[in-house]
Amino acid sequence: MHSGNHESISPAVKLGLLGSLYFSQGLPFGFFAQALPVMLREEEYSLAQIGLASMLAMPWGLKFLWAPLVDRHSLSRLSRLGRRKSWIVPLQLGAVGVLVGLALVTRVQVSMPVLMAGVFVLNLIAATQDIATDGLALDLLATEERGVANGLQVAGYRVGMIVGGGALLILHDDLGTGGTFAAMAALMLLATLPILRTREPAPVLREHVPKAVAETRPHFLRRPENAAVLLVVVTFKLGEAFATSMLRPYLSDVGFTLEDIGWLLGTVGFVAGLVGAVLAGALANRLGRKRSLVMFGLFQALTVGGYAYMAAVGPSRDAIYALCALEHLAGGMATVALFTCMMDWCSTEQAASDYTAQASAVVITTGTATLLAGVSADQLGYTAHFALAALLSLAAVAVVAGCFPERAAADVQRGPLLPAMEVAQ
């Protein structure tokens, strides 16, 4: 059995490389997740229309369609860079180019259709980069490293969101929309440097996995043994997405400004989420996979219920800050627990494709919840809407308790599939 050379890479180098790539995904998304709903509300779009804007994230839900192509092949003209790197590098630079284009356009005039088109293209680029990055993570990481690494994955993404949805949002009035996009482009370019400095060995499949098997194994979604996996994956983050998609419009309606929301959600909330991600990464192996999902899922449901209390009572700003921080803390912990299990449920033959299929299922479910959330908040009001979201979160914990797949398939192999990347000297 070929074990690769992943042991020769220090954990710090692995985590630094992966962290920079996930940071790149969170950076623009943080700005759009924080600013776009508020901008739309200020332009007098309805809550239902704001919910429909979530369709701009459609590439994240559909990426499983082209994941096998990214997983199995390199871009031919860049194949000398390595299978994963041949995708990651041009996609990173492409995102920089889109951000520069938006910076130039929005310096003249902020056009909502142009802005939303830019969001869609960036989501398409980031979703495809994520396939290759997830494959790289599965290549690099041993089983016992997955908890900590997923903590870093979520933390890196949230750091990007803190910068893009917090710091840059706070500075938005000074920088202007064009200056904000230019700053994001510069930061994205800096985050590309670690992957540019890597050298990727030629991929070598383990000896016990013939190439014919790797090419013909049924897609993750077609394997009946994965039904329980999909049930857990599609329900676990449903309630949280249903609640948080209406949080920004709620805050805007009760008088929070764009800068207020930047401080509350883009900074305090995402720092709390980062802490939760790191904490869950440290606890994942100690608690075990199922216990982590149950405990962190209950914490998530409790804090989502806090939003119903917030809408019903209208507490002080300090209380709102505390509630949002706790919900982001719980959300970060729950996300890390889920992502760690998703890695375990991948086969070695199609690791990136399997992970992408699960991630797409999460995105499709949470995206559907976001689409319906605007209608729910319009019809039920904020208090009943958030209460319903808390019940959905509790139902997801019951699903985990009753249906957790201890082993999704008898032939799942643990450990990395390919040799690790080496930092170029």
Could you give the 3-state DSSP secondary structure of residue 2? coil
Domains of the chain, first to last: 6-423 (1.20.1250.20)
Give tens-digit pLDDT for 324-371.
999 999 998 999 899 888 888 887 777 778 888 888 888 888 878 888
The arithmetic mean of pLDDT across residues 216-223, rounded, is: 66
Number of helices and strands in the chain (H, E): 19, 2
- Of the candidates 97, 125, 134, 118, the one whose C-alpha atom is nearest the C-alpha of residue 22 is 134
pLDDT score recorded for residue 39: 63
- For residue 145, pLDDT over 90 is answered with no
In terms of Cβ atoms closer than 10 Å to its own Cβ (0-12, 13-18, 19+), residue 354 is buried
Tokens read off for 136? 């790289």
Quote the CA–CA distance of 312 and 383 in Å, as a whole number: 5
Name the DSSP letter for residue 117: H
Reported pTM? 0.71
Give tens-digit pLDDT for 63-112.
888 888 888 877 767 667 777 888 999 999 999 999 999 888 877 666 77
According to DSSP, the β-strands at 198-199 and 422-423 are antiparallel
Amino acid letter, 298: L
Quote the CA–CA distance of 152 and 12 in Å, as a whole number: 11
pLDDT score recorded for residue 92: 92
Quote the CA–CA distance of 136 and 116 in Å, as a whole number: 30
The percentage of residues in the chain with a pLDDT greater than 70, rounded to a whole number, is: 81
CA 356 to chain centre: 11
Alpha helices in 245-350 (DSSP H): 247-253, 258-261, 270-287, 289-313, 317-344
Residue 389's φ and ψ, nearest 5 degrees, are -60, -40
